[in-house]
Amino acid sequence: MAARLALAAAVGLAVGAATEWSVLHLPFSLEPLSNTAAPWVLVAFAVALTARWMGESLVLAVVTLVALILGFYVAEALRGWAVSRHQVEFWCVTSVVAGPLVGLAAGWLRHAGRTAGALGAGVLGGLLAGEAVHGLTALRFSTPADYWHAQFVLGVGLTIGLTLWLSRRRPLGNVPVLAASVTAFAIVGLGTLAAYQIS
């Protein structure tokens, strides 16, 4: 587990620093990549998939997200910009709260049964889609709509695609499993949207 924790920290620090660099270098059409949660959620999810058991998935997701934040703000400080301690603390707490959900999605997909794995796919897709709807509504005048449309489609695609992949050996059982996945997608998506509106 120590090696995977080191991997989570290294990946998080590197991607966090790269994200900070991208703030000034991405074109407007891709600007949300440097200022939204979805890319980091996908990175944490990918790292959590390397876990060998469910609990480890949760830990790896949290460690990756916290490392992403630290990498971003360390790079910002090295650039000579002021770093808000409040922002660092806020996003670290957010990572500790949201990280287990990302880890749970990865753990269900990797280590649980077909239905639980479908729920994990729905959780992942819902996180992306909920943020996309927030972008299309609250940020519609300051960010490119095409980016958010693409992120929403990605969320839907991951939900359905991963669920069908889990059911590839039992195609006749797709309907209830898809229903579970779509339900998780809707609940997490609406919850994500609500969280953005409250914050």
| Nearest CA among 20, 99, 111, 30 for reference residue 58 | 99
Q: What pLDDT, on the 0 to 100 scale, is given for residue 172?
A: 59
Distance CA 38, CA 151 (A): 8
The Cα-based distances of 113 to 12, 107, 117, 149, 163 in angstroms read 29, 10, 6, 31, 11
For residue 23, what pLDDT band results from cuts at 50, 70 and 90? confident
Distance CA 96, CA 65 (A): 8
Model pLDDT for residues 50-85, shown as the tens digit of each residue: 999 999 999 999 999 999 999 999 999 998 888 888
Percentage of the chain beyond pLDDT 90 is: 69
Domain spans of the chain, in order of start? 1-111, 113-199
What secondary structure letter does DSSP report for 53? S
